[in-house]
Amino acid sequence: MIHFRQPFLQNKMPNPIFERLFSAAWLTGVRSLSCDWALTTHRFLGISLLMTIATIAQSQDSEETYTSQSYAEITRLGEAIIENTREHPLSRDYIGNQLNCTSCHLENGRHPMAASFIGIATAYPAWSPREKRVITLQDRVLNCFMRSQNGTRPPVGSKLAIAITAYITSLSEGQPIKVNRDKPLGPNHMPTLEPPKDAPSIRRGRTLYAEHCASCHAADGLGGNEGPPVWGPQSYNDGAGLSRVSKLASYLKVAMPLDDPHLSDQEAFDLAAFVNSHPRPKFNLKKMLPTQEKMGEYNGDR
């Protein structure tokens, strides 16, 4: 187990009162060196007094600003990473496609239905059938980097992991804890669509895609200015939740077309079958897990 430095301490802003008093004391001291000795003694007493006031001022001030400011700062950082995951300096090295967390978790996870982050901190630690053990919210966040983001798992306890988890947790304020004994999903997870009457049809899906989706995600599925890729080398890999037809159908039902989801269950399944019939990156746990020294703890079998 590796211990990482807590980001809160590194981020601490200089205390303005302390700085002002310290420079006053310092200037007095510097000038005193060029003066006569009697004055110097006097000045040093002055310095000690100022330093004492400064120390008291700092300890009182930091008690307040430390907790309030740095909590807000770290959750803002978490949201910024969710919004711009593939370019943010803290996350870009762990991303292997053109997606951000918010590409699927719409509105930075604040959308009430499209893979919502609202309330999910109440469900963790939770049992995960995939890893066959109980995992934390942080594990759940980091595992997304290997699948939906087709990248590598950032270290447990890293600044990015704490920031994202803190932001997500802030969206659960005031909600009651739900003990989650069967699956790692929060109280607002997407309802799973029942398989429709007719088996999902790639052929029908192709027509629906041209009609409802290609304007934003491009006819070749590789994305463009209006929407991210939905298949191909820059998309989610075949270990991601959305690579399963039923999960993608459940997602499309509540999320797409963007701002106007209106698909019938049958259409959602047909589209999901069509989208997932295209090639996408392969999930490979061995490649996506970092070396033991860089990992912290991976809550699963290697």
- Does residue 153 interact with ligand HEC by CB under 6 A? no
Q: Which two tokens stand for residue 137?
A: 């919210």
Q: Which two tokens stand for residue 127?
A: 């049992």
- Asked whether 295 and 135 are in contact (CB, 8 A), the reply is no
d(CA 173, CA 43): 52
* Total residues binding ligand HEC (CB under 6 A): 46
Nearer to ligand HEC, 155 or 228 (CB): 228
Contacts by 65-70 with C-beta closer than 8 Å and gap 24+? 65/13, 65/15, 66/8, 66/12, 69/13, 70/8, 70/11, 70/12
Q: Which two tokens stand for residue 241?
A: 């939740």
- Does residue 288 interact with ligand HEC by CB under 6 A? no
- Does residue 120 interact with ligand HEC by CB under 6 A? yes
- Asked whether 215 and 263 are in contact (CB, 8 A), the reply is no
Nearer to ligand HEC, 47 or 106 (CB): 106
Nearer to ligand HEC, 54 or 101 (CB): 101
Residue 133 parent element (H or E): strand 133-135
Binding mask 167-196 for ligand HEC (x = CB under 6 A): -----------------xxx--xx------
Nearer to ligand HEC, 15 or 100 (CB): 100
Sequence-distant (≥ 6) Cβ neighbours of residue 242 within 8 angstroms: 104, 148, 236, 248, 251, 276
Using CB under 6 A, which residues numbered 193 to 252 contact ligand HEC? 212-213, 215-217, 226-230, 235-236, 240-242, 247, 251-252
Least CB distance to ligand HEC at residue 208 (A)? 7
- Does residue 46 interact with ligand HEC by CB under 6 A? no
- Does residue 86 interact with ligand HEC by CB under 6 A? no
> Which DSSP state fits 92?
G
Interface with ligand HEC by CB under 6 A: which residues?
Answer: 85, 99, 101-106, 115, 120, 123, 140-141, 144-145, 148-149, 164, 184-186, 189-190, 212-213, 215-217, 226-230, 235-236, 240-242, 247, 251-252, 256-258, 271, 275
